[in-house]
Structure 1
C-alpha cells in the first residue's frame, strides 16, 4: 500500500528517542506557534463545533488525541470547551518518553486531560470500542507509512463515533512556504518541518486512504498555510 502515494518517508529527528530534550522543546515551540497562528488548532475546533452542533447543553465531549506531542491541541480543546460551557474529557496519547515528559509539564494543572503512553496501533488493547465521541490525529499520521495510516484510521473509527484527521498538505506552495517559514530557525526545526511537508498528503491521497480505512460521510476541508482536515464517521 505504500505505493498508493508519492510521499517520502525520511525520518524526522524529533521521532528519535535519543534526541536531546532541548532540541525537542525547540521543535515543539515551533509546532505550538504554527498550530496557534497558522490555523492547526482552529481547524480542529471548527470540526468540533460541527460535530457537537445540536448536542444538549451540558453533554460531555470525550476525545482521544493520537500523537499528542506537547499537548497544545488538548489544551486548546479544553479552552474551547470552556468557551462553549461544555464538559470535556480528553485522553492524550503518545509513545515518545521525552515528548510525554514535556506534555506532562504542560497539562499539570489541567485535570480534564489524561496522558497515556501507548502505540497508536495498539489502542484497542487499552480502550473499548466506542469509548470516545471523537478520535483526533493532528500532524501525526504523516509520520506513518501508508499501510499504517489506514490501520490507525481504522482503529480511530472503532474507538470513536467521529474521526478527525488534521494534517499537512503536500504541494508546491506548501513546500516553498515551509522553507520560507523556517528561515533562521534551529536546524532540527527546519529539517523536520521540510520533511513533514514532503511526507504530507494530497487531497486525493487523503480521501483515498480514508475510504480504504472504511470511513463514511467523509468531508475534506483545505485550510490556508498547508493544512487540511478530514472528518469521517464510523
Structure 2
C-alpha cells in the first residue's frame, strides 16, 4: 500500500475521467478547465521555448504530433505561440477517447486566429502502421496513465514516429507537490474532476530515478521544476 510520503507509485489508482461511464458534464468541465491548470502546472511555454522553438523555421514547415491530447489545449497553445513567432508549425493531435476529440475539435473552432490543428481519434500504433512521421512527438500527463506495457509501447512508437525529437512531459511525484496541489485547488474547479484526478495523477506519477530505471538506452530524463519530469529522445537513430 502507498505510504503517506508517496514512496511508491499508486499504479492501481484510477482517475475518474478515465472511466467510460463518468459524468459527462463534469468531464466537459474538466476539459474546459485544463488550459488554466496546464498554464499553472504543466508550463508548456517553457518547454516550447527551450525544446521546440529552436527546431522551427519561418520558411520550412515543421510537423508535430501530440499524443493523448485530451481537450487539445496544449496543441492549440503550441500553434498560437509558433504563429505569434512567425514560425511554421503543423500540428496533429490524437487521442483514442472520442469524448476528448469531440471537445478538442469544438474548442479549436473558437480559436479563429490560430492555424488549424488536426485532431484525430486514433492511437500512436495506428500512425506507425500508416508509416506516418513527424519532426517532433510530444505528450502531456500521459505517462502516468499507462501500464508498463503501454509505457514501453509509447516509447517505441515515439521513436519510430519522430524524426528529430520526442518530449514526454509528466508530473514528478512528490509529497510536497501533493500537499500544494491539494490545498491550492481546494477552493477552485467546482463541478469537475480537476482536484480529485490531479491528486490521483500525482500518486500514479514517477520520480526521475524511477523513470531512468525503465527507459531504454538513448532516452534521458530532465527535471523541469516545479515537480515536472521531461522524458526526452533526440534524433531517433533510425532517422539520423
**TM-score scaled by length of structure 2:** 0.83
CA distance in 2, matches of 1:105, 1:56: 29
The residue aligned with 1:23 is 26
The residue aligned with 2:116 is 112
CA drift at 1:178:
1.6
CA drift at 1:21:
2.5
The answer to whether residue 173 in structure 2 is matched with residue 165 in structure 1 is no
Equivalenced residue count is: 221
Give the match's secondary structure for 1:92: strand
CA distance in 2, matches of 1:6, 1:157: 28
**TM-score scaled by length of structure 1:** 0.85
Q: Deviations over 1:84-133 (max 9, x none)?
A: 211111110001111111101011245531111112344312343xx100
**Structure 2 contact 134–161 (Cα < 8 Å) conserved:** yes
Give the match's secondary structure for 2:193: helix
CA distance in 2, matches of 1:98, 1:139: 17
CA distance in 1, matches of 2:218, 2:159: 7
Alpha-carbon distance change, 188 to 35 in structure 1, aligned in 2, over 3 angstroms? closer
CA distance in 2, matches of 1:126, 1:13: 32
CA distance in 2, matches of 1:146, 1:6: 15
The answer to whether residue 8 in structure 2 is matched with residue 36 in structure 1 is no
Alpha-carbon distance change, 6 to 121 in structure 1, aligned in 2, over 3 angstroms? farther
Greater shift after overlay, 118-127 or 61-70? 118-127
CA distance in 2, matches of 1:8, 1:136: 24
The residue aligned with 1:144 is 146
Q: Deviations over 1:122-148 (max 9, x none)?
A: 4312343xx100000111121102231
The residue aligned with 2:4 is none
The residue aligned with 2:98 is 97
Alpha-carbon distance change, 7 to 171 in structure 1, aligned in 2, over 3 angstroms? same
CA distance in 2, matches of 1:20, 1:137: 25
- The 5-angstrom pairing of residues 55-204 of structure 1 reads 57-108=58-109, 109=112, 112-128=116-132, 131-161=133-163, 162-184=165-187, 185-186=189-190, 188-204=193-209
Give the match's secondary structure for 2:224: strand
CA drift at 1:199:
1.0
Q: Deviations over 1:167-210 (max 9, x none)?
A: 1010111111121122134462222011001111101122333x
**Structure 2 contact 68–139 (Cα < 8 Å) conserved:** yes
The residue aligned with 1:8 is 10
CA distance in 2, matches of 1:168, 1:227: 5
**Structure 1 contact 57–86 (Cα < 8 Å) conserved:** yes
CA-based RMSD of the aligned residues comes to 2.1
Greater shift after overlay, 56-65 or 196-205? 56-65
Q: Which runs of 5+ in 1 are unaligned?
A: none
